[in-house]
Structure 1
């Protein structure tokens, strides 16, 4: 069937690069398609990423009757990583969801780019860190990890204790729209910053792709409501929301509280 379709188009007017894209759209699992996807990811990294750090976003779904035991085990594991100078791992934030999927915990780790992650992976096997990680497993229903990079215009906030709640917003973008989403959101965020500043914004590079996260901090839910209502009055914000929503396949909002050992509180 493909050969019959191809015969309808003169080969001399179709550049090889265009033919590769056409085939990629059909045979998306091919080696050529995977290589093209890798090139696209690298292109995005050069344009929109702050390349100094790599962030691991770890999501743990915990058994409802094991939450307290999990919290103790998680504190031992993550503070152990943080305090080991050989690993050079920093904690960006550690949170529990109170609105959204319940009994779910989010941990954001900061590595010194890909080489820093490689270094940590070499040192953890067989160590106390591996044993501490294994101690978490009996309390889990499932777990997932993504490797993400910061948007260049919005570095992750340093540790602070301002109190209140955090909102994690997650966007599943349509493939191929990340650059457009970033450009639109970057313009609009200047208007939103006059009211409240995001404390972090990342896009997935490995794991579930085409996913964007940004994290906000508010004094409470009432403050969040007021700030969001006032944002609609700022020039450019309504247009940003409209345009970015057209690029997203799904959107989620989670309200989080920081764990006692989280550097963001």
Structure 2
């Protein structure tokens, strides 16, 4: 499998030297060949499970508690401005404020025409008329982050609509190398759950915090959310899906979001 010096590795490396022992596996795991194999595996998984047509930027802004009203006005000016500018070719999927979870936190999803579209839009924004609107938001923000995500192939994001209610954003931190397993298990279970509710969108991270999966749901209210989740446990296959996917995740997070007035999804 390995050429050159790696062929000279022998079983003697497994024998203790003093109080310490070295394994062949530990040496190979950190080798350039092993790292390249893991990167290739990740790329192959992304191609298998991803839709590939768009890249979604998840922008998170943490805002000063006494400046949320000013932030909302500034954010509306900026995000409506860029989505309505045909030269930028960027779509605003939605904008929300956290009700349950990290307080005074705002969340925006932007859709780009793959990485080339993201590069072009980012470059144009720096010198466009929208640069001033962006700067107007900054005094109200204490921290901001950006993560680029790809849609799961079997579940494109929902088109703009105004159904009302609340949104639930669930984030799972997967163990490295488990994305394909996750997608296989979750895709089968979600078909059953569609009897009661369908996700608004589902994504996996590409740049930023890695090995993360997100999915977004919409409910009339928290009580309806509870009822729907209880109904899901009566569906054949859902319990198996939850059991399998939970074994692939290191941690899970849930936030309840309220759409902002200018959000295309609300």
**TM-score of the pair, normalised by structure 1:** 0.89
Distance 1:34 1:79, change over 3 A: farther
Partner of 1:167: 168
Partner of 1:14: none
Partner of 1:219: 220
Q: Distance in 2 between matches of 1:105 and 1:37?
A: 34
Partner of 1:256: 257
Q: Distance in 2 between matches of 1:24 and 1:118?
A: 36
| Higher alpha-carbon Rg | 2
Q: Distance in 2 between matches of 1:139 and 1:258?
A: 19
Q: Deviations over 1:144-167 (max 9, x none)?
A: 100000000000000001011000
Distance 1:212 1:131, change over 3 A: same
Deviation at 1:25, TM superposition (A): 3.6
Q: Distance in 2 between matches of 1:80 and 1:50?
A: 27
Partner of 2:179: 178
SS of equivalent to 2:243: helix
Q: Deviations over 1:1-34 (max 9, x none)?
A: xx9xx54369xxxxxxxx8x8557446xx6x666
Alpha carbons 2:42, 2:177 under 8 Å: kept: no
Matches within 5 A, 1:1-265: 6-8=9-11, 23=27, 25-26=29-30, 35-265=36-266
RMSD over aligned Cα, in angstroms? Answer: 2.1
Q: Deviations over 1:56-114 (max 9, x none)?
A: 00111111111111111111111111011011000111000000110011100001111
Q: Distance in 1 between matches of 2:191 and 2:148?
A: 26
Distance 1:117 1:23, change over 3 A: farther
Alpha carbons 1:192, 1:234 under 8 Å: kept: yes
Deviation at 1:38, TM superposition (A): 3.9
Structure 1 residues not aligned, in runs of 5+: 11-18
Structure 2 residues not aligned, in runs of 5+: 1-5, 14-23
SS of equivalent to 1:184: helix
Alpha carbons 2:29, 2:35 under 8 Å: kept: no
Deviation at 1:178, TM superposition (A): 0.7
SS of equivalent to 1:136: helix
Stretch moving more, 175-184 or 126-135: 126-135
Aligned residue pairs: how many?
A: 250
Distance 1:229 1:116, change over 3 A: same
Alpha carbons 1:171, 1:249 under 8 Å: kept: yes
Q: Distance in 2 between matches of 1:220 and 1:260?
A: 17
Distance 1:139 1:24, change over 3 A: farther
**TM-score of the pair, normalised by structure 2:** 0.88
SS of equivalent to 1:255: strand
